Amino acid sequence: LEEIAKTPYLDALYIGPSDLSIGMSNGALQHSLDREEPEVIEAIQRIVAVAHDNGIRAALHCGTPEYAARGVEWGFDMVTVGADSALLAQGAANLTKTFRGLIS
């Protein structure tokens, strides 16, 4: 981690908690965006600290606004407030519901 953070011209470290947890557990943990395992939270907090110690930004991929708010509390410079596929599905569902209401 420290060597990665020292890479010349690197602007940020961007964490995908699901990928991080799968890698940390050698695949034992299933895919899930907003991880709650203490060891994953500790790793996430360590990554943001190492990024800042090396003068670069830290970003966190989140599945919910609530987890994104926690990321801000942990010191992240950028967080997502939802996953792209979930946002697309939610938008499509809202449009379909509106459309069906208009034609019924």
Q: For the segment 41-99, what is each residue's pLDDT rounded down to a tens digit?
A: 999 999 999 999 999 999 999 988 999 999 999 999 999 987 778 788 888 999 999 99
Q: Collect all residues with Cβ–Cβ distance below 8 Å to 42 and sequence separation of at least 6.
A: none
Q: Can you read off the two tokens belonging to residue 73?
A: 């509390």
Amino acid at 21: S
List phi, psi (to 5°) of 78. Answer: -145, 140
pTM of the prediction? 0.79
More confident residue, 71 or 21: 71
Amino acid at 12: A
Q: Collect all residues with Cβ–Cβ distance below 8 Å to 35 and sequence separation of at least 6.
A: 17, 18, 20, 21, 29, 41, 44
Write the CA distances from 20 to 14, 23, 32, 94, integer angstroms. Answer: 11, 5, 10, 32
Q: Collect all residues with Cβ–Cβ distance below 8 Å to 56 and sequence separation of at least 6.
A: 5, 10, 11, 12, 13
How many CB atoms are closer than 10 A to CB 70?
17
